[in-house]
Amino acid sequence: MDVSKEIQSLLGANAEESLSIVRKLREVHCCFRCCLRFLSCRPLKLYAVPEQDLGAAFAKLLDSQDQASDFVCTACLGCLSAPDNTEFSDDLQQRFEREGYQTKQVNLSCTLPISMLSRDHLLALYLRDTLKIKVAPREPKEPFKHLISKLLRNKLGLNINTEGSLRMTVVMAHEPTATEHMFLTQAKNPVLKVRKKQRKGKITILGDSRSTVAEALNALSDDEARSLTSVPPSQQTTTATLASLDLMHDSVYLAGRYIKLSREFSQTPWSIKGKKLAENSVSESICELIKTQHRCDGYKFVSAGREDANVRMLGTGRPFYLELINPRVAKFTQEEYDTMQNTINSSDTKDAVQLRDLTNINPKDTKIIKEGEQFKRKTYRALVWMSDPVTQEMMDKVNAAGKEPFKIQQNTPARVFQRRAGIIREKEIHYLHIARPARAGDSAGLEKHFAVVTMNTQAGTYIKEFVHGDLGRTQPNLASLAGTQGADLIELDVMEVDLAWPPKK
């Protein structure tokens, strides 16, 4: 690219006027890239030209020896020259590589010092005052982003696109001018109104968002600007620095089904006031290894319903999905997921929790779990105790009622009333069958009071309350159907959750 020719083309018919703008900006220590901005330069390729080469091209046009920018730019505070700086680029590289993300697709965004907003405004006012020329400088964000993109491609081999799975935010800061825009609060009719908030001993200023500062600058008269702050803005001796490199990868979603063989594992960690009520959980047994392999910050475990800690989940298991938050390693093959599953199934918790069908899914598939809450069916097997001995007549009565689907009315159970809305829910029992336990035979005594109940119900049915009636809050209930005074649930197993999961690929 012929830089001189490109700049001549940029200057156009009003070359002398444009060059006078450059002269004035150089007098107050603005870099050549910011000179391009104040000339409203659109082609980003010109901003990528090294500062020294831009200086040489402008020097010819200005008939000047001024080629070096050995000062901190008054406009951008050194932000636009930072990508050319070895120390800056090395710092950026080290921060990125330290995290170890295994992806090349990056969605880049940049945050520049907020003081650059007021500095551009005041420099434009300075040019109006001295040259009687009105300028509309290009915002520095796009040129800076273009320069950072080039650096990331050349130094780290990254591809920059808006669909990138890794969101990267390059945050620049300039501490000496961090509160420079506060002069706007002293305007006659201030648009910028801030308040201070103290939290954990640290004072934070609220109300000075970029949009509010920009609005306040637009509302500021030239006379007020001159009276409230210096025009042009003060020159600086320290350059802007890389305050942070914020990295966040899109979540990865996994699906599977779990089988719980223990009556001592909660589904997720269960504690009250810091005290664990169940020593182990299904989610920890499954997810900790997966978290380590994906090197993610954390995870969300979402299942199709839940069982109490003392309830087993048998059959083909309960459907669930995992949202892995900010994974450094996003992709594994199905064979690798199979290996993870086998490792979990042979771990110390193998006799309590088993995992099956572990696989990667599309985020949109997670809605199946939510939608299934309303429509899925569940099959249960319960060992119950009846207040009267279980007779053939009693079993026939219950089985006759349970041959066809029937509705029950369930008021919010007393045991969950403190955390659930107090309403009556209508649920459907699709199938109900009662039988004596295999070991009971025709024996007399207490064993005659036990029965095994199998039922298929609508999702969301409170099974314990259906068995004992919850002081009459569930009608009809097993006791009323059997014609006995009371019934109680001794053990409960979930035998099947009727949901096609994981979804077919």
Backbone phi and psi for residue 257, each to the nearest 5 degrees, phi listed first: -135, 145
Do residues 115 and 77 lie in contact, with contact meaning Cβ atoms separated by under 8 Å? yes
* DSSP states along 247-273: EEEPPEEEEEEEEE--SSEESS--EET
Residue ranges of the chain with per-residue pLDDT less than 70: 66-67, 273-274, 276-277, 439-445
User: Which residues 6+ apart lie within 8 Å of 13 measured at CB?
Assistant: none
Q: Find the length of the chain.
A: 505
- 460: region left, alpha or beta (phi > 0 left; psi from -120 to 50 alpha): left
pLDDT at 175: 97
pLDDT at 208: 84
Token pair, residue 218, equals 């637009």
Cα end-to-end distance, the chain, whole Å:
49
User: Which residues 6+ apart lie within 8 Å of 193 measured at CB?
Assistant: 185, 207
Q: What class is the 376-497 domain?
A: alpha beta
Query: What is each CA distance from 278 to 65, 200, 262, 267, in whole angstroms?
Result: 77, 33, 12, 9
CATH code for residues 252-374: 3.30.70.2510
Q: How far apart are CA 29 and CA 52, in angstroms?
A: 15
Do residues 246 and 171 lie in contact, with contact meaning Cβ atoms separated by under 8 Å? yes
Do residues 72 and 236 lie in contact, with contact meaning Cβ atoms separated by under 8 Å? yes
User: Which residues 6+ apart lie within 8 Å of 246 measured at CB?
Assistant: 167, 168, 169, 171
Question: Domain extents for the chain?
Answer: 72-180+229-249, 252-374, 376-497
Do residues 466 and 408 lie in contact, with contact meaning Cβ atoms separated by under 8 Å? yes
pLDDT at 90: 97
pLDDT at 312: 97
Sign of the four-CA dihedral 367, 370, 374, 376:
positive
pLDDT at 202: 75
- The residues assigned a catalytic role are 308
Q: Of 500, 251, 505, 248, which is closest to residue 363 (Cα–Cα)? A: 251
User: Which residues 6+ apart lie within 8 Å of 499 measured at CB?
Assistant: 304, 319, 368, 369, 372, 376
Asked whether this chain's domains 252-374 and 376-497 adopt the same fold, the reply is yes
Do residues 339 and 311 lie in contact, with contact meaning Cβ atoms separated by under 8 Å? no
Q: How far apart are CA 368 and CA 351, in angstroms?
A: 29
Token pair, residue 173, equals 């800061």
Do residues 20 and 130 lie in contact, with contact meaning Cβ atoms separated by under 8 Å? no
Backbone phi and psi for residue 29, each to the nearest 5 degrees, phi listed first: 65, 60
* Helix or strand (DSSP H, E) at 244: strand 241-249
pTM of the model: 0.87
Q: How far apart are CA 352 and CA 310, in angstroms?
A: 12
